[in-house]
Amino acid sequence: MDFILEGLSEAIFLLINLDSETFSTISITIRSSSVSIIFSLLIGLPCGFVLGFFDFPLRKTLKLFSDTLLALPTVVVGLIVYAFISHRGPLGEYELLYTIKGIIIGQTILALPIVISLSATAIEGMEKKLRLTLASFGLTTMQMIKTVIWELRHALVAVAVTAYGRVVAEVGIAMMIGGNIKWFTRTITTAISLETNKGEFSMGIALGIVLIIIALLANLSLHSLKKRAREGIHG
């Protein structure tokens, strides 16, 4: 028990004194996960909208495929991306292996099924009365899309928060694609794994605290947004 308390006190010391190695890891994590989630939303939300709003052949098959990929292990994603961007892979000439760009590619692929499936489910669950009402207005396709997105904005923000939580906490892709290189590709999760194996609990605990804070802030933002929405409705 003593080593846990000692590690916690040293972790707080590292955070308060802005330890350069600790904050380099935090910075790399935030940058890679933020860019990944932006790309996954730009690609996934339109796909999710089409999958959830329109009826077309193979729609159910595509939805099933997307839902299946929700459980895709991060190490499998890392393996697939590694095969493509390694020196012997078709994208090897771009030298993406052991770079932040490579991590971003892997994390974007990891987040895509989450964004597509959850946004499609949210749109499918939209009230039929709302669909009929919007259809009766004679809106153009683009106006219809904008209106649906606005009506479901809180659900879509929840999708983004869920995907971000999965990305920021993953370890397989960051380890396999990034290589856990100090000052360059070391993320919070890979650093925690490394430092714990070395017996350096202080930095592991410090980074664990930061990871919990990031998750807490994301969920608090979502809660605040929902609260404002409810107040706006009742107001």
pLDDT tier for residue 129 given thresholds of 50, 70 and 90? low
Mean predicted lDDT score pLDDT of the chain: 86
Output the pLDDT for position 230.
Answer: 63
What are phi and psi for residue 181, nearest 5 degrees? -85, 120
Mean pLDDT of 93-113: 96
Closest CA to 115 of 178, 38, 188: 38
**pLDDT, tens digit, 9 for 90 and up, residues 154-213:** 888 889 988 998 999 899 999 999 999 999 999 999 998 888 888 778 888 888 888 888
The larger pLDDT score, comparing residue 73 to residue 203, is at 73
In the block, residue with structure tokens 């846990």: 4
Is 234 exposed, middle or buried, given 0-12, 13-18 or 19+ CB atoms closer than 10 A? exposed
Which range, of 10-14, 97-101, 172-176, 214-218, averages the lowest pLDDT?
10-14
Query: Residue 217 is part of a domain; what is its CATH number?
Result: 1.10.3720.10
DSSP 93-155: GG--TTSHHHHHHHHHHHHHHHHHHHHHHHHHTS-HHHHHHHHHTT--HHHHHHHHHHHTHHH
Map residue 84 onto helix, strand or coil. helix
Map residue 55 onto helix, strand or coil. coil
Output the pLDDT for position 153.
Answer: 84
pLDDT at position 150 over 60: yes
- Domain with 177, as residue range(s), is 2-234
The larger pLDDT score, comparing residue 202 to residue 89, is at 89
The larger pLDDT score, comparing residue 20 to residue 134, is at 20
Map residue 46 onto helix, strand or coil. helix
What are phi and psi for residue 72, nearest 5 degrees? -65, 120
pLDDT at position 47 over 80: yes
- The one-character DSSP state at 86 is S
- The first and second tokens of residue 209, run together, are 């605290």
pLDDT at position 97 over 80: yes
pLDDT at position 118 over 90: yes
How many Å apart are CA 156 and CA 48, to the nearest integer? 10
- The first and second tokens of residue 59, run together, are 């729609």
Count of structural domains within the chain: 1
Output the pLDDT for position 203.
Answer: 82
Output the pLDDT for position 27.
Answer: 94
